[in-house]
Amino acid sequence: MGLLDKVKSTATQAMAGTAQVTSQVSTQVSAKVEQVQLRKRADDAARQLGYLLVREREGAALDQAEVDRLVGVVQGAEAQIRRAADHPTSEGAARAESGSGGSERASADSNAGEAAPAAGGASATGDAGAGRHAGAASD
Protein backbone atom coordinates (compact mmCIF):
# COMPACT_ATOMS: atom_id res chain seq x y z
CA MET A 1 0.00 0.00 0.00
CA GLY A 2 2.96 2.38 0.34
CA LEU A 3 3.22 2.79 -3.43
CA LEU A 4 -0.47 3.64 -3.77
CA ASP A 5 -0.15 6.29 -1.04
CA LYS A 6 2.82 7.86 -2.85
CA VAL A 7 0.90 7.96 -6.15
CA LYS A 8 -2.10 9.48 -4.41
CA SER A 9 0.09 12.10 -2.71
CA THR A 10 1.80 12.98 -6.00
CA ALA A 11 -1.54 13.30 -7.78
CA THR A 12 -2.87 15.57 -5.02
CA GLN A 13 0.22 17.79 -5.27
CA ALA A 14 -0.12 17.94 -9.06
CA MET A 15 -3.76 18.95 -8.78
CA ALA A 16 -2.87 21.69 -6.28
CA GLY A 17 -0.16 22.98 -8.62
CA THR A 18 -2.57 22.95 -11.55
CA ALA A 19 -5.15 24.88 -9.56
CA GLN A 20 -2.56 27.53 -8.67
CA VAL A 21 -1.41 27.91 -12.28
CA THR A 22 -5.03 28.08 -13.45
CA SER A 23 -5.73 30.82 -10.92
CA GLN A 24 -2.69 32.83 -12.05
CA VAL A 25 -3.62 32.49 -15.73
CA SER A 26 -7.20 33.49 -14.95
CA THR A 27 -5.97 36.62 -13.15
CA GLN A 28 -3.71 37.53 -16.08
CA VAL A 29 -6.49 36.99 -18.61
CA SER A 30 -8.88 39.12 -16.55
CA ALA A 31 -6.31 41.93 -16.39
CA LYS A 32 -5.78 41.77 -20.15
CA VAL A 33 -9.53 41.81 -20.83
CA GLU A 34 -9.85 44.86 -18.57
CA GLN A 35 -7.03 46.60 -20.46
CA VAL A 36 -8.67 45.88 -23.82
CA GLN A 37 -12.00 47.24 -22.55
CA LEU A 38 -10.32 50.41 -21.27
CA ARG A 39 -8.50 50.92 -24.58
CA LYS A 40 -11.77 50.48 -26.46
CA ARG A 41 -13.46 53.06 -24.23
CA ALA A 42 -10.61 55.53 -24.84
CA ASP A 43 -10.66 54.86 -28.59
CA ASP A 44 -14.44 55.28 -28.79
CA ALA A 45 -14.25 58.61 -26.97
CA ALA A 46 -11.36 59.77 -29.17
CA ARG A 47 -13.34 58.82 -32.26
CA GLN A 48 -16.29 60.87 -31.01
CA LEU A 49 -13.93 63.80 -30.44
CA GLY A 50 -12.83 63.46 -34.03
CA TYR A 51 -16.41 63.54 -35.24
CA LEU A 52 -17.09 66.65 -33.18
CA LEU A 53 -14.07 68.36 -34.74
CA VAL A 54 -15.16 67.39 -38.24
CA ARG A 55 -18.63 68.79 -37.61
CA GLU A 56 -17.08 72.00 -36.27
CA ARG A 57 -14.98 72.35 -39.41
CA GLU A 58 -18.18 71.93 -41.43
CA GLY A 59 -19.71 74.90 -39.58
CA ALA A 60 -21.55 73.30 -36.67
CA ALA A 61 -21.19 74.77 -33.19
CA LEU A 62 -18.71 72.95 -30.97
CA ASP A 63 -20.26 71.63 -27.77
CA GLN A 64 -17.44 72.40 -25.32
CA ALA A 65 -19.06 70.44 -22.50
CA GLU A 66 -19.15 67.33 -24.69
CA VAL A 67 -15.52 67.87 -25.73
CA ASP A 68 -14.49 68.19 -22.07
CA ARG A 69 -16.44 65.05 -21.15
CA LEU A 70 -14.87 63.01 -23.94
CA VAL A 71 -11.37 64.24 -23.10
CA GLY A 72 -12.05 63.19 -19.50
CA VAL A 73 -13.10 59.72 -20.66
CA VAL A 74 -9.89 59.31 -22.69
CA GLN A 75 -7.68 60.61 -19.88
CA GLY A 76 -9.44 58.49 -17.27
CA ALA A 77 -9.14 55.29 -19.30
CA GLU A 78 -5.48 55.96 -20.08
CA ALA A 79 -4.78 56.62 -16.38
CA GLN A 80 -6.47 53.35 -15.42
CA ILE A 81 -4.41 51.48 -18.01
CA ARG A 82 -1.20 52.98 -16.61
CA ARG A 83 -2.22 52.14 -13.02
CA ALA A 84 -3.05 48.57 -13.98
CA ALA A 85 0.33 48.23 -15.71
CA ASP A 86 2.14 49.66 -12.67
CA HIS A 87 0.13 47.67 -10.11
CA PRO A 88 -1.24 44.47 -11.68
CA THR A 89 -2.72 43.33 -8.36
CA SER A 90 -5.01 46.38 -8.15
CA GLU A 91 -7.10 45.37 -11.16
CA GLY A 92 -10.23 45.08 -9.00
CA ALA A 93 -10.01 48.78 -8.15
CA ALA A 94 -9.66 49.63 -11.84
CA ARG A 95 -12.75 47.56 -12.63
CA ALA A 96 -14.75 49.35 -9.95
CA GLU A 97 -13.75 52.74 -11.36
CA SER A 98 -14.38 51.73 -14.96
CA GLY A 99 -17.89 50.53 -14.17
CA SER A 100 -19.15 54.12 -14.20
CA GLY A 101 -18.38 54.55 -17.91
CA GLY A 102 -21.56 52.96 -19.22
CA SER A 103 -23.56 56.17 -19.51
CA GLU A 104 -20.61 57.99 -21.07
CA ARG A 105 -20.28 55.27 -23.67
CA ALA A 106 -24.01 55.27 -24.42
CA SER A 107 -23.91 59.03 -24.98
CA ALA A 108 -20.83 58.76 -27.18
CA ASP A 109 -22.38 55.92 -29.17
CA SER A 110 -25.55 57.93 -29.75
CA ASN A 111 -23.46 60.62 -31.46
CA ALA A 112 -21.71 58.09 -33.69
CA GLY A 113 -24.73 57.56 -35.91
CA GLU A 114 -24.88 61.23 -36.87
CA ALA A 115 -21.28 61.62 -37.96
CA ALA A 116 -20.29 58.09 -38.94
CA PRO A 117 -20.48 58.81 -42.69
CA ALA A 118 -17.88 61.60 -42.40
CA ALA A 119 -14.84 60.46 -44.35
CA GLY A 120 -12.47 62.61 -42.30
CA GLY A 121 -13.43 60.98 -39.00
CA ALA A 122 -10.45 58.66 -38.87
CA SER A 123 -7.86 61.39 -39.36
CA ALA A 124 -9.62 63.68 -36.92
CA THR A 125 -9.59 60.84 -34.40
CA GLY A 126 -5.83 60.65 -34.81
CA ASP A 127 -5.63 64.39 -34.20
CA ALA A 128 -7.72 63.95 -31.06
CA GLY A 129 -5.11 61.81 -29.34
CA ALA A 130 -5.81 58.27 -30.46
CA GLY A 131 -3.13 58.13 -33.11
CA ARG A 132 -2.02 54.65 -32.13
CA HIS A 133 -5.26 53.26 -33.59
CA ALA A 134 -6.04 55.81 -36.30
CA GLY A 135 -5.86 53.13 -38.98
CA ALA A 136 -8.37 50.96 -37.17
CA ALA A 137 -10.77 53.87 -36.79
CA SER A 138 -11.30 54.08 -40.54
CA ASP A 139 -13.51 50.97 -40.57
Summarize pLDDT for 56-99 with one digit per residue, the tens: 999 999 999 999 999 999 999 999 989 888 876 544 444 444 44
Quick one: pLDDT at residue 17? 86
Chain center to CA of 48: 15
Lowest-confidence segment of 6-20, 47-61, 71-85 by average pLDDT: 6-20
Quick one: pLDDT at residue 49? 95
Quick one: pLDDT at residue 2? 85
Predicted TM-score (pTM) of the model is: 0.52
CB 49 within 8 A of CB 70: yes
